[in-house]
Every structure is written in C-alpha cells, then in structure tokens.
A and B are shown apart, each in its own frame.
Chain A
C-alpha cells in the first residue's frame, strides 16, 4: 500500500520542513547511545524500521524532533540522532503540540506506549486528535506496562493475569483505533512490529499526512507479555486473521483471498464472510478518505480483544485544517492587520498627564 493520492490540492505533512540534498542512510539516524531494551523486544524492530525509513524523507536531520512520554517505548528518542525530548508520563502530545505550533519548520514525532497514550495520557491523546495538530504518533501497543514490570494496561484483554491482577483483570480494554476514530482523528493506521514492510508503508503515508497521524504498532514484549500477538504471526493463523487494507480495493484476505468483508445494510456493521458465498461484488471497497468516521469506525470493530481478526493498514486519511496551521494563520493575520506598537498598547485609550510643578 502506498500513500493515498487524494487528487486534491492539499499540502503535505512535511510542507515547511527544510530538506537536504545530502544523501542520508539509516546510520545517520542512529545516535551514539547504547540501546537498552531487553533482547528480543519488538521495540528494536520498530526502531530499525524508523531509522531506515527516515532518510527517504530527505529532511534536514536537525529539523526532526522525537517527543515521548515514559515507558520502555518512550526511550525511543535517545536512540535517534535527531532532536529529542523524553518527557513525562502521558504528556508527550501536549509538549509536542506546543512545539509543533511554535515551529512549522519541524517534523515532530510522538512516541508513546499503550499505558502512556491511553491511560495517563488519554485526555491529551483525544484532544490532540480533535485539534489535528500536525504530529505523527507512533503508539507502541504491547498490551502491558513494560517499564513498571508487567502490570496490565488499558489494552490488555479482560481476565489477564498479571502482577497486579493475580485473579485476572476486570476492565474492558480500549481498541486504540476505535478510540482515535471516535475522536475524529484524520489519519489512523495499524501495523505489526514483525511486518517491516507494513510498518514502513504506514509511516510513509503518515509522514505525508498534514494533521495528526496515529499509527498503532503491535509490539511484542518478550519479558512481560510474550507472544501477545503470536496468533497473528503463526503461518496457519496469520492469513485468516489479518485483514490488510488497500485504498480503492475490495477488502479481501486469506491465503487464497477466500475471505472478504461485507457490510450489513441495516446496521452498517461489517463482518467477515467467505467470498464464494457472498460473491466478489458484495465486498466493501476500502475508501480511507470518507469524511464520515462511521465507516472507519465500523472497520476498526472487525478486530476484537481476542485478535480473531486484526485489520492493518490505513483506516482513515482525511483532510481537515490543522490546529497549528490555523493558530499561526491567526497570528499572521493579526500582525498584518495591526502593527506591534507596544507604546500604543501600554497607553491604551484613557490616559491623563500630570505636569511637573
């Protein structure tokens, strides 16, 4: 899947960020810091994918900033040879919002975990999405709190036995994609850490998107939640569970393309059927550009906490003015309308003068 051509005169996510002609390689994006994740952690694969992908954008490295919260995943900025802020738990969207609004010449990336983004930072996440700040968000979902050594998270399946839930967790999990679409995110995608090509493709599309682009990446934590996504990787299971999306094409999957997604005309909900039972024409043709979020939301409901099915690729990619562009426009318009005469401001309308006697 490639970046979606909307055929509209839109400005890209990287507009205003200076580019370079110098050839870059993945190595240029590796910092001198020793990477300290556990051996086998899915974070390594994502880091490598990002470092390999960045040169393709051709940006000046000094104009790239990674901002993270707290968690294993949030160590990410230390390993990128760009500017970086490893901030506090859950607050990366807020800090990145201020930075992106103040600096249109930066490509700002937020790295966050399922706990960081959906527990403590849930409020900032939804407000960032509704504002549509020009930020790219990589949400590493390992369905566990890694850094604090293995408590259940807001994406853990009900009944999960962890250190903090010896009798099983009670709370119903979030589906991060549904949540983001519910908050009217303009770009929502999902990829698997093990699928380097899939990760790169959604990163590419996200980078070009102007507005908040959320990319959920399923990430294995071999220490505290090993094999959380194994059913999606096992050769026998993978093909019948993963539903890859391609814009403009019927939603069809399975080793032989034997499954497809159809829409219930009465409820608008989607379900999986055998193609030879319903016929090819009955399949939903994926359109990520639909304004109404109900479509993408219905798609996101195809995957539940049991991972019976998991939809990957770009769910939604629509254009909406970004908060940061609009905020800067207001400042420019105000500057144009009125000069910055500080003396006049301080004097105001009603003054009186006392004459020395």
Chain B
C-alpha cells in the first residue's frame, strides 16, 4: 500500500499527540479496532495509553445507549501519562455511539460518522428527534459523513460473502481510514487479520479488503484534505511492547514462579475485570503454572492456600465481591502465616456495582476486611505496565514474610495498555526462599516448632509436608508463641496479635519519592494506584502554567513508606485525589494526624487530567493568597 498519491495533494500536518475514540455498538468490534490501531501506533514507536470502555452486558440491545462500546487511544511523540481526557477524533458507528460520546468532543474536533446506521428508527431509538447530521447541531465539529457499511459491502461483493457478513467488516473499514489519516503502518494489521481468521480464510481476506477499502477511501476521495503525522516518541532505549495491566500482572506471576523456582498454583473464580489474568495464566502451564477454576471464590482461595501449604506459590485473583468471599480464608492465611498472593482488580461497588467500570473503593476492605486483627501488606500498581513489577514485588513479600499480600489493581489499568520496556529475566529480583529442613526448637529438645520466628523478618519457617521430622499441625486457632500448639492463654494471645502486626509493620518498603521540579512547592498531591497517570499529567499542566506543585505516589499502602509522615509534614497543603470517598485520606489522617485535603470521584471513570488540574490550581492559588 503506498502512501503517496499521484495527482492528489493532501496537506500533512505534524502533531505531537492525538486522542482517537472509536465508538459503536458492542457488536461492532470497537475493542478490536482500537486494539489494532494501538498496535500500529506501538509498532510505529509512539508512546501511547489506552482506555477501553464497554458495557457489562455481553450484547446489550443493539443500537441503544447502554449497548455502546468505545475504545480511546492516546498516542504521542513524547512520554504521556493517560489515555487523554477528550478525543480529538471521534469515530461514531451509529446514533447511539454519537449521542453517548459527542459531549466529550471539543469544538473543532473531527467527527467521522458511519451514516448508514442513521435511519429514522435508529435515531428515535436513542431519542434524537431530528437527524443530527442534518439539523445543524454538529456545526462546531469537522464532520465527515461516510457510508461505511455501504462502501464495505460494495467492496466485498466479489467475495461472495452475504451482505450481513460483509457489513461486519465495517470496523476494519474505519480502521483503514484512520490508519490512512494518521500515516500508520498497515502490515501488522493485515498479518494479524490473517492469523486471527486463519481457519476462515475468506473472512480473513474480507477483513483485509475492508481495511484496504477504508484506506483507499481516504486516499482517493477528496473528503479528507488533511492527514496527520505523529512522530515516534523518544522513549528510553530498549525493546518495547504494548501491554495491558492484566497481561502484565499475569506475566509478573509467571515470572515470580520462575524467580522463586516454585510451581505456581492459581485458584480462582471468574469475575470482571480480573478474569483475563486467569485466561492468560492458563496459557502458560509450560512454566509450571497450574490454574484451578474453583466452584466459588472461597474454594479458589482455599485451594491456593492449600497449595502454598504444600510449597507452591499460591495465588488467587478476583475483584471486590470476591475479596469479600475470600476474607475468612485470608484470615486463615494470616493465622497460619503462609505465603499467598491475593490479586484484587477493583471495580465499581458496592455489591455487584459497576462490573466494567473502575474504582478504588476496596482499599479499606483490603486493609481491614477480615475478622480480628489480621494485618497484611497491600501494594498497588500505578500503570498497566507497572502491574508486572508490582506482582513480582507482592510475591516476594509474601514469600519472604510468609503472609498473604493484597495486590490492588483496578479496571482502569487492568484493561488499559501502554508501551512496556521489556525487562530481561536476569535483571528480575531473586525470589528464592528456603523451606525448613531441620528441627529448630530453641530449647534444644530436637523438636520442630512451627512458630519460631526469623529475628529479622519475624517470618516463621515454611515446613512443607514430606519433610521428615517436621510433622506439625497448624490451623486457625490461636497458637502458642514458638511451639505453635493451640493456646487460649490471654498473655500469649496478646503477644501473638502484636507479633503478627509487628511482622507486617516491619515489611521493608522503599521510601516514597517526591516529584517536584521546582524543589519548593507548597502543595503536594499524594495519590495511590491507578491515578498516577491523570495526577502526573495534571501536575505537568499546572507547572506549565507557572505554578509549583509536587507529586508523590504510593505503591505501598501497608505498611506505608517510612518517610511518608515526614514528606506529608513538609508541605503546607496535601491533596489526596482518589476514586472512592476518601479511603486513603482516612488512613493518612488517622496515622499521621495530617489534615489532608480529600478530593474524590466515583463515577466509574478515571480522572481526567483536566479536572484534576482545576482542583490543583484552586488549591495552589489558595495557598498563595
């Protein structure tokens, strides 16, 4: 496919960044379209970030607002932090997609509409009294009306495919058109389509043809006077790939198994948005990964804990409702002091809530959602790619301290993607630990005492069945310090509760770092988890406007970094934006007696840099005044 067009001059405009949103019916293949454009951008060397947004229903009624599915992609020639607040380009495949998304398109934005779906019936289905393509209501945008279905059908006529099958490829037409507009490489997509439909070569060719038709449409019609170029980004040297949070997390678990030289046992029960971790891990049994789809979350975590007891790296993956079911078993893991990695990919709550939307409202559940004093380390990755390192770190803590660890991802980073500087195995942390092999009784009796602690980590020995001479019994009843027999002694219980707390409080975590180019900001923004991107982007904007602001981001929520109190006290104001009603703020106030300003959002959608920027500017200006 050639880029130059003989006989026709299109203007090429250079941009540093573009945000495109593909929106259509959930049956229109918008996620795939977005995914492919992302791969093209990645292959071209742009920095990028993506935000899929889809309904909880697999097939909500066609053509309705609840059935709209979209995929937003931000790509740039510099390092970006978010999928973008608003699209520069909106591709709307039907009236519902237009209606659901048009409010986000800024004036002057490019709107590409598939006119074929704009029938009277389809319009009235979503409450359009008149056709927005005709009534002038879209005047402030650069509207391109394209009969995508008709054009696709016509192009595919020679293939002999039915009308309906042919029309199904219209998403590839849209992708072809956008690929032409932004000078994207196309070989990857063609190769992808041929591989994806390898078993149905006629469908594969139809899709490739639709893709090329879209490209040629841009090239040959006069409708598009301008195309755009976004140069590759200057990322750090190295080899990159594009990765979603859930894939990165699954890879982190595989890597943890390899680096600990332990078999991995995943016990899990499907739940959005965590299921993809199960899907991914189930493909990697060659790494000694066993995946067990249990009858419920309780069995899932139980089996994982049973495997840990047997000397495997036990892992369980879920979302908020599943964490609630697992609580009692996680408490057993706290009591039996066995390693266990609990991955919670948060979604909107309470109850079933908003399964496909994002939220950070399970922090307190992770911290305290168990009976009794049952502390455990909590770690939150900040970006999709960061899920890899976070999973490795969580596993390392679980193995080193013999404790369940909660890894708190969320729907935003789980499904979002970004380029990832691929690490080499040799550079990954060493996770190896030793099983107990000999009697250890401090009284020299030659017995094995399961609750004798390592003086440094306070971890107890991991004595796996099959080890001669170490036969012992553990369980949920309180243990006598050292010996580990059942004990109802009041002083012993007091001591053991404090010991378990001290062990978690003593988990070594790195100091938190503050990003403040000015070095003299009065206002600190403290975030955790997936708000890293929007907060970082908002801070950049504030600084660009000549104001000073500092940003620090928590990966370790339990225990907090040792220097956190000092950092908090070093600023006149500390703002804590969260996608909940102030859960981290509550913890910070309780622990450090610092009057942090809590700013919250619980719409199920991630923060926009724009909205955070306004919040930050108001606070910075308030401090100055």
Contact = CB atoms under 8 A, between A and B. Distances in A.
A binds B: yes
Interface of A: 18, 31, 33, 60-65, 67, 70, 77-78, 80-88, 91, 93-103, 105-106, 123-124, 127, 327-328, 330-331, 333-335, 337-340, 342-343, 345-348, 350-357
A78 B240 contact: no
A97 B306 contact: yes
B466 A105 contact: yes
A345 B428 CA distance: 14
- Give the 7 A-B CB pairs with smallest separation, nearest first: A86-B475, A94-B302, A98-B306, A98-B303, A334-B285, A356-B237, A95-B306
B310 A102 contact: yes
A85 B336 contact: yes
Given A340-B286, A346-B255, 13 more contacts: A62-B465, A63-B465, A85-B336, A88-B331, A94-B294, A98-B306, A101-B290, A102-B312, A106-B465, A127-B299, A342-B425, A346-B423, A354-B45
A342 B255 contact: yes
A347 B241 contact: yes
Contact of B286 (A62, A99, A335): A335
A335 B300 CA distance: 24
Contacts of A102: 263, 265, 290, 306-307, 310-312
B287 A86 contact: no
Nearest to A65: B465
Nearest to B476: A88
Nearest to A356: B237
B140 interface: no
A105 to B, nearest CB: 6
B240 A123 contact: no
Contacts of A93: 299
25 contacts: A33-B485, A67-B306, A77-B475, A78-B475, A85-B473, A93-B299, A94-B267, A95-B302, A97-B294, A98-B310, A101-B290, A106-B466, A124-B295, A124-B302, A328-B290, A334-B284, A334-B286, A339-B286, A346-B251, A347-B239, A350-B42, A351-B241, A352-B241, A354-B232, A355-B237
Contacts of A33: 473, 485-486
A343 B424 contact: yes
B505 interface: no
Interface residues of B, number: 75
A342 B252 CA distance: 10
B119 to A, nearest CB: 39
Nearest to A126: B295
| A33, A61, A99, A105 — most chain B CB neighbours (10 Å) | A99
B285 A335 contact: yes
A352 B300 CA distance: 38
B422 to A, nearest CB: 5
Given A127-B295, A351-B422, A98 B304 contact: yes
A70 B335 CA distance: 15
Contacts of A105: 466
B47 to A, nearest CB: 10
Interface string B467-494: 1111111111100000001100000000
Contacts of A83: 465, 471-473
B292 A327 contact: yes
A37 to B, nearest CB: 14
Contacts, number: 211
A339 to B, nearest CB: 7
Contact of B309 (A31, A99, A350): A99
B125 to A, nearest CB: 39
A47 to B, nearest CB: 14
B80 to A, nearest CB: 15
Contact of B474 (A31, A85, A96, A339): A85
A153 B485 CA distance: 29
Contacts of A123: 295-296, 299
Contacts of B470: 62
A181 B44 CA distance: 60
B352 interface: no
Contacts of B469: 62
| A77, A85, A94 — most chain B CB neighbours (10 Å) | A94
A62 B463 CA distance: 11
B468 A60 contact: yes
Interface string B287-330: 11110101110111111111111111010000000000000110
A354 B47 CA distance: 11
A171 B301 CA distance: 31
B179 interface: no
Contacts of A88: 328-329, 331-332, 476
A330 B173 CA distance: 41
B188 interface: yes
B514 interface: no
Contact of B236 (A86, A100, A354): A354
A335 B288 contact: yes
A65 B332 CA distance: 18
A342 B306 contact: no
A127 B300 CA distance: 12
A331 B255 CA distance: 16
Given A94-B302, A95-B306, A330-B285, A85 B292 contact: no
A350 B188 contact: yes
Nearest to A18: B466
A99 B307 contact: yes
A87 B303 CA distance: 12
B310 A350 contact: no
B45 A352 contact: yes
A104 B235 CA distance: 48
A98 B292 contact: yes
A98 B307 contact: yes
A86 B474 CA distance: 6
B583 interface: no
B122 to A, nearest CB: 37
A348 B423 CA distance: 12
A67 B303 CA distance: 12
A94 B306 contact: yes
Given A97-B303, A327-B292, A347 B468 contact: no
Nearest to B473: A84
B235 to A, nearest CB: 5
A159 to B, nearest CB: 32
A77 to B, nearest CB: 5
B18 to A, nearest CB: 18
B432 to A, nearest CB: 15
A62 B303 contact: no
B242 interface: yes
A346 B288 CA distance: 16
A356 B236 CA distance: 7
A331 B286 CA distance: 6
Contacts of B303: 94-95, 97-98, 101
A100 B298 CA distance: 17
Contacts of B263: 102, 331
A30 to B, nearest CB: 12
